[in-house]
Amino acid sequence: MPVTNEKVFISPGRYVQGEGVTARAGHYVSALGKIALLIADDVVWKIAGEQLSASLEGEGVSFERAVFEGEASTREIDRLVELGRKQQADVVIGFGGGKAIDTAKGVAEKLEAACAILPTTASTDAPTSALSVIYSDDGEFESYRFYSKNPDLVLVDTGIICKAPPRFLASGIADALATWVEARAAIRANANNMAGGKATLLGATIGEKCEDILFEHAMLAYQANEAQIVTPSFEAVVEANTLLSGLGFESGGLAAAHAIHNGFTALHGEIHNLTHGEKVAYGTVAQLILDQTPQAELEEYLDLYLALGLPVTLKALKLDQASEEDLYRVAEAALKEGESSHNLAYELTPKQIVHAIKAVDVHARAFMEKVGLSE
């Protein structure tokens, strides 16, 4: 991206959140288009497909469901674009998790159609952004793909989300806790945000508020999720995970935490089964270490991550048997040209990243011993 002094803030056209709002999906989608390509996998469809169908049909929106095949890849986007062209879709609906959502955004951009996003988990901040994380068909990070606009509609049904496994909420909390850690680092470095400009005061404030809400409400929300109930704390954390984190990362900026996550995708094996947020959690602690964060603050993050069952040791990350060569592959991938690791105020070497990855494990195990936790 070119260097600029312009401040840029971007956001979705409309954000709707609440228990049972899927019943109103047709009302909101019908304002965007009348022929929908609806992207969802079979698992998601069984959860709430009937309810969504009834809402769309009740508002005169015809739709064809395209089964999402699991990876936000160029091949999958191109396959679904062809279906949308045959259908002459004027609105694309992404119904599901982060990769289905990122795929839907890519399809809508190519079709020049409106875009409606209906997440069924609060596991990532993908729903609101004007970009997709593109992977290979094997799940290795390839690139960020930027779009001309954010989704026209983001509709978040907390009644559906509270029935998802709590692991997904914890993953979203981890993804969202990276927001202010990365945004403040990018702002210090006067780096561009994901929208191609400098952070506005609002962009920075949203990122900071996101972190405040998560430290205050995360555990109460997680407990509500375990009980499959919607509480004020659950609503607050879903909004922080989805809206505040989405606006905060895009209009604030990314840095090392997500770059290290992207590096982890270069490895195969058991780590591939971890969620996006679980890998971001480890990358966030690594960035905190690189940023020379005081011990007391570092331990606040470790304490919450451990309470949520997030991986902060190499064993929990499934990398306790990783070779030095494997860790250098992660570091080199995290430092590729164009990666967000270059948004820091200091230059990094592969060795520094490898040492930071190891330091997360050392500090986490020391903290666990200090508070009487076993690995």
Active site residues: 175, 258, 261, 276
What is the rounded end-to-end Cα distance, in angstroms, of the chain?
A: 43
* 368-371-373-375 Cα dihedral, nearest 10 degrees: 10
105 assigned to a ligand binding site: no
102 assigned to a ligand binding site: yes
Cα gap 368→375, rounded to integer Å: 8
∠ CA 360-168-206 to the nearest 5 degrees?
75
Give the number of other CB atoms < 10 A from CB of residue 104.
Answer: 32
Cα gap 228→366, rounded to integer Å: 34
41 assigned to a ligand binding site: yes
Residue 126 corresponds to which tokens in the numbers above? Answer: 């993908």
99 assigned to a ligand binding site: yes
175 assigned to a ligand binding site: yes
272 assigned to a ligand binding site: no
Indicate the DSSP class of residue 336: S
**Residue of 89, 94, 2, 114 lying closest to 40 (CA atoms):** 94
307 assigned to a ligand binding site: no
131 assigned to a ligand binding site: yes
Give the number of other CB atoms < 10 A from CB of residue 176.
Answer: 31
Cα gap 99→104, rounded to integer Å: 9
342 assigned to a ligand binding site: no
121 assigned to a ligand binding site: yes
**Residue of 52, 60, 55, 103 lying closest to 81 (CA atoms):** 103
124 assigned to a ligand binding site: no
Residue 12 corresponds to which tokens in the numbers above? Answer: 């979705």
129 assigned to a ligand binding site: yes
123 assigned to a ligand binding site: yes
30 assigned to a ligand binding site: no
Instruction: Please return the burial class of 372, using the count of CB atoms within 10 Å of its CB with bins 0-12, 13-18 and 19+.
Output: exposed
**Could you tell me if 214 and 249 are in contact, meaning their C-beta atoms sit under 8 angstroms apart?**
no
- Binding-site positions for glycerol read 125, 175, 258, 276
- Binding-site positions read 41, 98-102, 120-123, 125, 129, 131, 135, 175, 258, 276
- Binding-site positions for NAD(+) read 41, 98-102, 120-123, 129, 131, 135
